[in-house]
Amino acid sequence: MKEIMVFIQEKVLGMKFLNQLIGSLLSYLGVDINSKLGGALQFFYMIP
């Protein structure tokens, strides 16, 4: 049961999957997500 709660907290509520997806998409488009601009774009695309 604890594993399920950790999964929900980290993956679903933390939206790590969405962060990884957006990071991958930006990298595919040629944006360096480790730069300030790339990090800002990744952050603001996370906000619904």
User: 42: Cβ–Cβ under 8 A, 6 or more apart, which residues?
Assistant: 19, 22, 23, 26, 33
Which pTM value belongs to this model? 0.63
Taking all residues of the chain, what is their mean pLDDT, rounded to a whole number? 83
What CA–CA distance (Å, rounded) separates 40 from 31? 11
Q: How far apart are CA 14 and CA 10, in angstroms?
A: 5
**What per-residue confidence (pLDDT) applies to 47?**
65
Domain assignments of the chain as residue spans, ordered by start? 2-46
What token pair was written down for 41? 């774009």
The span from the CA of 48 to the CA of 45, in Å, is 7
Residue 15 contacts residue 46 (beta carbons within 8 Å): yes
Residue 21 has pLDDT above 90, yes or no: no
Comparing 35 with 18, the larger pLDDT belongs to: 35
